[in-house]
Amino acid sequence: MSAYEKLSPLFRVLPEVRKPARRPTLGERLFWTGLVLIAYLTMGQVPLYGIPREAGRGLGALEFLRVVMASRRGTLVELGIGPIVTAGIIWQLLVGSRIVELDLTTPSGRRAFAGLQKLTAILFAALEALAYILGGAYGALTPAQELLVFAQLFAASIIIILMDDMLEKGWGVGSAVSLFIAAGVAQQVFWELFSPIGPMADGLYYGFFPSLVAATVTLATTGNSTPLKILVSRPEGYPDLLGFTSMVLLLLLLLFLESSRIMIPVSSARFGGARSKIPLKLLYVSVIPVILVGALYANVIMLTQVLWPRVNPGNSNPFLNWIAMYNYTEHGPVALPGCLVYYMTPPRSLASALADPVHTLVYTLLYLLFAVLFGVAWILTSGMDPETQAEQLAKAQLQIPGFRTSEKIIASILRRYIWALTIFSSIVVGLVAVLSEILRAMGGGTGILLLVGITIQYYSILASERALEMYPALARFFRE
């Protein structure tokens, strides 16, 4: 009996979206994708009912991870895609390390994997909702208010899980996780560039371009260059010239890296030895390690902030202080130097990075270590490892010119490239995320990294879908 058959009674009670009876056209899939996105963005504008108006300042150390989680503070999407990504991390590690034996090459194995991920995501939705409430994210609540907030957070998370299930089942394009992240980053970048709110504490507007116009007008009319000097690097953390320049340079760098390929020559025995090349992306793991590291950090920080007032009040336990020490301020808990959580939070500016180089170095090395580990785990569980790729090439009757047609030989050759690219690309995306966070790139360095990667993925998906619709014979060939 397969794993799916054993667990199917449990999976039957889980909420799910059925697959479409027929394959929707690209236009229909884009319509449903747009509808899901509008629903998510609308939920992000609906405040949680029953919490104080000024609530939502707790768990402040999570602010830099909200882009990765596609969450919005104090709204129905407070938890964002956190439960989905966390469940994915757990099962990828369990299956990739062979702690749990699941054959992902079979349909039943893949269905079991998807069902276990959904079940774990639902459990984490409940746990994270409780963590936010008990951690004081919404201030002091009565039992009735706690129950009401929990119900809203849990119900919203179930809807988000079903949205992701809907797109994965073929109703839409891509995945809800990527879609929500990209939309959130694009929204944040637009706001940081054009927001007219102001004047702020430094006398300028919040948005970069309104501030630039106001500073230029001031210089032209009064000869005062102080606003332009402030705009170069604003001390309050508002969008500035350094962040804008960092964003532009980061976009150019990522576009170059995403377009770089390593070509592997192959020949086809089916078509008389015709030669071609298989492209391997230089960023082989794309932005997956950044998403997974962000989810891990978010859960560690959130859980420690919830537990610390109960298990280590006043930072009195010297052993637990190695994990976390918090100073609970009116703006939320702040991690203190010398603990693990402190080194999991990034320096928020170039000045703070230079002021505490040990923090910067440890944060960078720790981030890169986790990025590499998650990159390797993702390759093993997603079918992108050398052995799986070699099996697919062998089934397509492709071989490496100059070598015998053998799955083991193809795997040994691919192994030289794939593992090197996996480690290299994990380090590169990790470094880009760290440096851009320190330089305060607009949209968040991690956010821009995710936005570029996801946008390119969607472009590739749409181009492929358009080609298959234009050439039905080609579509039948791929389905076969």
For 39-66, the pLDDT digits (tens) are 998 998 888 888 876 554 444 445 556 7
235-245: average pLDDT: 82
The listed CATH number (3.40.640.10, 3.90.79.10, 1.10.10.10, 1.10.3370.10) that belongs to domain 1-200: 1.10.3370.10
What is the number of other CB atoms lying within 10 angstroms of the CB of residue 299?
Answer: 22
Q: Is the pLDDT of residue 368 over 90?
A: yes
pLDDT band at 34 (very low <50, low <70, confident <90, very high): very high
Q: What's the confidence (pLDDT) of residue 480? A: 46
Q: What's the confidence (pLDDT) of residue 289? A: 86
Domain boundaries, the chain: 1-200, 262-287+300-480
164-172: average pLDDT: 88
Whole-angstrom distance, CA of residue 289 vs CA of residue 372: 7
341-368: average pLDDT: 87
Average pLDDT, the chain: 81
Q: What's the confidence (pLDDT) of residue 271? A: 60
Nearest to 15 by CA among 115, 91, 147, 128: 115
- Domain 262-287+300-480 CATH class label: mainly alpha
391-400: average pLDDT: 73
Q: What's the confidence (pLDDT) of residue 478? A: 46
Whole-angstrom distance, CA of residue 386 vs CA of residue 417: 9
- State what percent of residues in the chain have pLDDT above 70: 87
For 296-327, the pLDDT digits (tens) are 887 788 778 777 777 777 778 888 888 888 87
| Those residues with Cβ within 8 angstroms of residue 339's Cβ, 6 or more apart along the chain or in another chain | 321, 322, 323, 324, 325
pLDDT band at 105 (very low <50, low <70, confident <90, very high): low
Q: Is the pLDDT of residue 106 over 90?
A: no
Q: Is the pLDDT of residue 364 over 90?
A: yes
pLDDT band at 272 (very low <50, low <70, confident <90, very high): low
Q: Is the pLDDT of residue 279 over 90?
A: no
Same fold, 1-200 and 262-287+300-480: yes
Coil vs helix vs strand at 59: coil
